[in-house]
Structure 1
Amino acid sequence: MTLMSPADGSSPGPPPPQEAEARSGSAPPDGAERSRALWVWPALATVAFSLIGVNGTQLGTDELVTWDVSRRGARQILDLVHHVDAVHGTYYLLMHGWTAVFGDSHTALRMPTVLAAGATAALVTLIGRRLFGRRAALCAGLLFALIPATSRFAQEARSYALVMMLATLATLLLLRALDTPRRRRPWAAYGLCLAILGLVHLIALTVVLGHAVAVVLRTRHERRGLGHFVLAVLAAGACVLPVVVFGRSQASRQLFWLPEPGAWGLVEIWPQLFASGLCTGVVVALAALAWRERGGHLPVLLCGAVAVLPPLVLWLASHGEVSYFRYQYALFTVPAWAVLAGAGLAAATRSRSAPAVVLSVVALLVLPDQRSVRRPFEHDVPHAADYAGAARTIEKYYRSGDAVVYVRGAPWMLDQGVRYYLRPDVHPREVFLAATAAQNDDLFPVYCPRPARCLAGESRIWVVVPGNNLDVLSAVPPPQAQALRAAKYTVYGTESLSGLTVGLLVRRP
């Protein structure tokens, strides 16, 4: 591997124990075949862990947006991204095609990210083998599978696991391009991967900062490859330029709620990235062992730069008009941490069985965090709205001709949440709806400017409001509540659930 040699041509020193073993000739004849298939086991482990409890967590707000937008036509999605969410447009189009084939059940919506997490584990293993050897690669891939954040975002119908996969693939393609810096095809593949990465999630292109460190260090004595790297990055930038333009104009609307991060944010983000403070400590400690063993080597510098630089740049960029400092946006750095931690584990353990023991201990230590990321309302923190419970309440007492009022406002998605869980044969008319979100080319619908004119004399109207408020009419927007009271609707009964309340209004004769 070219990157394993110092750029000044000095001796790289003795090979690591695992590489010496591979070169010694003591490996079995089929060792090369087994080495090439090494990625299969971490990939299968990651998919298996990600499928545990995949249906146990209710859809969160962002996932409901995915479901809602993916049901629209391709033209409607393009119209939407002209107004809002341009940075997720590519993902919505992908999910539109996916749900058209596989449906929109919990498993169907989340399966693309489950598969993406498995592919990322395979890529982590391949990168680890290329940089640190077979033993470190297997440790890295299995560590990645055990990180709670891997399962957490594998089970979320959003783009983060796909972004993680694409960013890791870009790193592997860069390594292959640097092996043959004069060939154009590997650089073209790298540039294409960067373009797709930027189209799926623009902020993930900060991975290029880590890549640039490796390229500059690798080419400081010989310029082969530097020009191709610059051209690949510029070509990718040109491809994502429309997303940059639209995304910048929409950023203040989409990210208005993110506060400007303080210095403490640089400390808090790491346990958030791994979805476990304990796992963070283990991974960072193992990565430090890799640094101690190979601190001056380019593989460690590359992985370290990819792991650390993007969150730092996001923190710096968030001290302006708009804050981008959200740990999900830096999730693509977790694979680099896993590669470093795998190298550290392989370097610190000499016997064959020691890594298995350490990995087993890690699995036991993070078990409470693994359970935590699978809690019923984990994807809707801090609201913890029980959309499925609300749907069951309405279904239990539903009568043909019933109507409904959803009290909605960012970041609440009560209408989409309850509608997702309602049976197909239960479809109450939404009373005050003038235009759906799809008709409005937006994420939010349009409501009647004069609510009284939208009432159609229904005898029963369901009301779903956020929070636990038994007086559901007091939680309805005043113009709508006034129209309901004027039409002689009174509260017949209510049911409080986690994060929301369902009430039934009945019209007095």
Structure 2
Amino acid sequence: MVIAAQLPPPREEFRPAVADASVRGRVLLWAAPFALALGAGGFGLTGPLLGRDELVTWDMAGRDTGRILATLRHVDAVHGTYYLLMHGWVQLFGDSVLSLRLPSLFGVAGAAAVVALIGNRLFGYRAGILAGFLFALVPAVSRYGQEARSYALVMPAVAVATLLLLRALDRPRGPWRWAAYALVLALTGLLHLIALSVVIAHLCLLAAHARRDRSLWWRAGLALAAVAATVAPLVLLGRSQAGRQLYWVPAPDGWALLSLAGEVFASAVGGGALIALALVARSERRAPLLLCGTWALLPPVVVWAASHGEVSYFRSVYVLFTLPAWALLAGAGLASASRSWKTAAALVATLAVLTLPDQRQMRQPFEHNAPVPLDYAAAAEVIERLHQPGDAVVYDRYDSWQLDGGVRYYLPRELKLRDVFLTRTPAEIDDLYAVQCSVPELCLRGERRIWLVTQGAEFPFNAIDPEQAGALQTGYRVSTSTPVTGMTVSLLERVGAAGGARQS
């Protein structure tokens, strides 16, 4: 009993440094970065046209739950959780560009707030709020906060899981804290499996603490086992689909790994500044630097190494969840390098100005389809303006993807065009790709006018499937062709139809 009485109480290394600060200070810690990220990402939110991947989100979210689940058995299972969430969202708020992108915007704003909270725990109040500001100003954060995909939600999920781990380490004997950590980490994996590579950083932190308390291993082990059991079916299903979905991703060389930072930050200036600040980060304890350093560096290396097998997973967007770690280190570096709030604020403002060109680039109309710009809205406007009752349409599906989805999204919903060569839609076959006529001649019904939408600027019959082109050319001639960015909208008129047809 005497010995027990002399033992010190559990050491809570990650208590918030602002625990005794005013209510205003505690709220400002997370609210200010949240507001900055919301404002930065919200500016120009609906400016860029929907990209191909966003059109997939729109398509999948518009299916009923049963169809979504059936599709996931065939393709894109790794994004299934996001599609189900977006299905519920669209049912409530509609499928406008604003509605589709708002969850991502709220995701990055939430991530900025959590980054500030983690920074406060690890490095102190000033470093925490600066980390939240720096994260909010990263051009890639705005870019993916304006895209209807899961990547903007993965960042706050990883950050919240990390925050919950720190809370569990405050009181490792609290089972509910470990349960909360396991729950959020499992959700992270269900949103994007590759994000679970952050567990490497978590294990490094646990190893540092387990020297004093070996019970951490079995407590954390139970939590991670629950996570593994939850995501195991998705791992197996995603692995079986990986070849079909990622066949186009090349195996990375050494230079790809070295140049990854520029792509992850979407800004050479912004990325360079944050990395430079991260290098001067200081802490009285080793654990914060260990956690953030391994979180920032190890997941990309692991993904790079895993991408030299049958399938490559090496895409910058897959490791965006490392941005909070870079912001945390940069916030700590800025707090230690600047002795006053005014100096720190001036440096943050300077960084914001220097990254303005990159922020502007993120909001260009065709940025979400870069490097191949496609003006779906302009193509839809041409058809809407010149449409006549009874018109049909043929979409280029020969060497392009989501051309039909993009134009259909921007056409008025009440404007219905028969898709001449379409036999079964993706939704009808629980897939992402349509089934077209095997014998195109049999699918023509003598329409007087057919719109032909193709990618590129070449002669429209040269841009589509040769058999479809042959079937059309036997009875139709090009009446007009209207080029729009990245696309050509042609009107075909039946030979001998009233009014005749003229070659354009």
TM-score by length of 2: 0.94
- Change in CA separation of 1:342 and 1:410 when aligned onto 2, cut-off 3 Å: farther
Structure-1 residue corresponding to 2:322: 333
The reply to whether residue 478 of structure 1 matches residue 466 of structure 2 is yes
The yes-or-no answer on 1:68 pairing with 2:59 is yes
Q: For residue 479 of structure 2, what is the aligned residue in structure 1?
A: 492
1:366 aligns with 355
Aligned to 1:238: 229
2:218 partner letter? G
Alpha-carbon distance, 1:357 to partner: 0.4
Shift of the 301–409 alpha-carbon distance from structure 1 to 2, 3 Å rule, reads farther
Counterpart-to-counterpart distance in 1, 2:324 and 2:120: 14
AA of the residue aligned to 2:479:
Y
Amino acid at match of 2:56: V
Is the CA contact (8 Å cut-off) linking 1:4 and 1:298 kept in structure 2?
A: no
Say whether 1:255 aligns with 2:246.
yes
**Separation (CA, whole Å) in 1 of partners of 2:204 and 2:322:** 15
Structure 2 equivalent of residue 139 of structure 1: 130
1:264 and 2:255 matched: yes
1-structure distance, mates of 2:339, 2:13: 21
Q: Which amino acid aligns with 1:473?
A: F
Correspondent of 1:406 among 395, 409, 422: 395
Compute the displacement of 1:352 (Å): 2.2
Cross-structure match for 2:295? 306
Q: Distance in 2 between matches of 1:410 and 1:89?
A: 26
Residues 173-222 of structure 1, C-alpha deviations (whole Å, 9 max, x = no match): 00000111111110010011111111111111111011111001111232
1:280 aligns with 2:271: yes
| Residues 3 and 298 in structure 1, CA contact (< 8 A), matched pair in contact too | no
Residues 136 and 468 of structure 1: CA distance in aligned 2, closer, same or farther (over 3 Å):
same
Distance 2:443 2:240 in 1: 35
Please tell me the residue identity of whatever aligns with 2:461.
L
Provide the rounded CA distance (Å) in 1 between the counterparts of 2:286 and 2:96: 47
**Alpha-carbon distance in 2 for matches of 1:3, 1:339:** 20
Q: What residue number does 1:192 align with? A: 183
2:483 is aligned with what amino acid? S
Identify the residue that residue 124 of structure 1 maps to in structure 2. 115
Cα deviation 1:451-492 (Å, max 9, x = unaligned)? 1111111000001111111x2012120111111122x10111
Q: Structure 1 CA distance, aligned partners of 2:353 and 2:156? A: 26
> What SS does the corresponding residue of 2:250 show, helix, strand or coil?
coil
Instruction: Tell me how far apart the structure 2 counterparts of residues 335 and 499 of structure 1 sit (CA, whole Å).
Output: 36
Q: Does 1:455 align with 2:444?
A: yes
Aligned to 1:505: 492
In structure 2, do the counterparts of structure 1 residues 295 and 330 end up closer, same or farther at CA, with 3 Å as the change threshold? farther
**Structure 1 residue 79 corresponds to structure 2 residue 67:** no
Structure 1 segments unaligned to the other structure (5+ residues)? 6-17, 24-28
Match of 1:322 among 294, 311, 331: 311
2:213 counterpart residue number: 222
**Equivalents in 2 of 1:2, 1:315: separation in Å?**
37
Aligned to 1:11: none
1:150 is the counterpart of 2:144 = no
Q: Distance in 2 between matches of 1:347 and 1:306?
A: 21
- One-letter amino acid of the counterpart of residue 452, structure 1: E
In the alignment, is the contact (CA less than 8 A) between 2:143 and 2:363 conserved in 1?
Answer: yes
Question: Quick check: 1:207 aligned with 2:184?
Answer: no
Question: In 1, are the aligned partners of 2:398 and 2:463 still within 8 Å (CA)?
Answer: no
How many pairs does the alignment contain?
Answer: 487
Corresponding residue SS for 2:313: coil
Letter in 2 for 1:310: P
3-state DSSP of counterpart to 2:429:
coil
Q: Would you say the 8 A contact 1:4–1:297 is kept in 2?
A: no
- Secondary structure at 2:280 match in 1: helix
User: Which letter maps to 1:312?
Assistant: V
* 1:90-134 deviation per Cα after TM superposition (whole angstroms, max 9, x unaligned): 110100000011001110000000001111011001000011111
Specify which of 38, 57, 60 is matched with residue 48 of structure 2: 57
Tell me if structure 1 keeps the 8 A contact 2:397–2:464: no
Q: How far is 1:31 from its partner? A: 2.4
Given that 2:12 and 2:171 are in contact with CA atoms closer than 8 Å, whether structure 1 keeps it comes out as: no
* Contact in 2 for aligned 1:148/1:370 (Cα 8 Å): yes
Equivalent residue for 2:499?
Answer: none
Distance 2:24 2:359 in 1: 33
Shift of residue 32, structure 1, vs aligned partner: 4.8
- 1:395 aligned partner: 384
> 2:462 & 2:352 partners in 1: Cα distance?
48
Bigger mean CA offset, 408-417 vs 178-187: 408-417
Which region of structure 1 is more displaced relative to structure 2, 449-458 or 410-419?
Answer: 410-419
2:247–2:311 CA contact under 8 A, matched in 1:
yes
Task: Measure the CA separation in 2 of the matches of 1:475 and 1:359.
Answer: 49
Structure 1 residue 270, shift from structure 2 partner:
0.3
RMSD: 1.7
Structure 2 counterpart SS, 1:156: coil
What amino acid does structure 1 have at the position aligned with 2:389? S
2:417 alignment counterpart: 428
Report if aligned partners of 1:492, 1:505 keep a CA contact under 8 Å in 2.
Answer: yes
Identity, % of aligned positions? 50
Residue pairs, 1:156-175, within 5 angstroms? 156-175=147-166
CA contact (8 A) 1:46 1:117 kept: yes
* Residue of structure 2 in register with 1:26 after alignment: none
TM-superposition CA deviations, 1:353-372 (whole Å, max 9, x none): 11110011001000000001
2:346 counterpart (357, 370, 383):
357
SS of residue matched to 1:353: helix
- More divergent stretch after superposition (420-429 vs 148-157): 420-429
- The separation in 2 between residues aligned to 1:236 and 1:311, in whole angstroms, is 21
2:19 is aligned with 1:31: no
| Matching residue's letter, 2:372 | H
- Matched residue SS, 1:496: strand
Q: Report if the CA contact (8 A) 2:398-2:465 is conserved.
A: no
Which ranges of structure 2 fall in alignment gaps of 5 or more residues? 1-9, 497-504
Q: Secondary structure at the match of 1:491?
A: strand
Aligned pair in 2 of structure 1 residues 371, 355: CA closer, same or farther (>3 Å)? same
**C-alpha contact 1:3 1:218 (8 A) present in aligned 2:** no
The structural deviation recorded for 1:450 is 1.1
AA aligned opposite 2:489: V
The amino acid of 1:507's aligned partner reads R
1:419 corresponds to 2:380? no
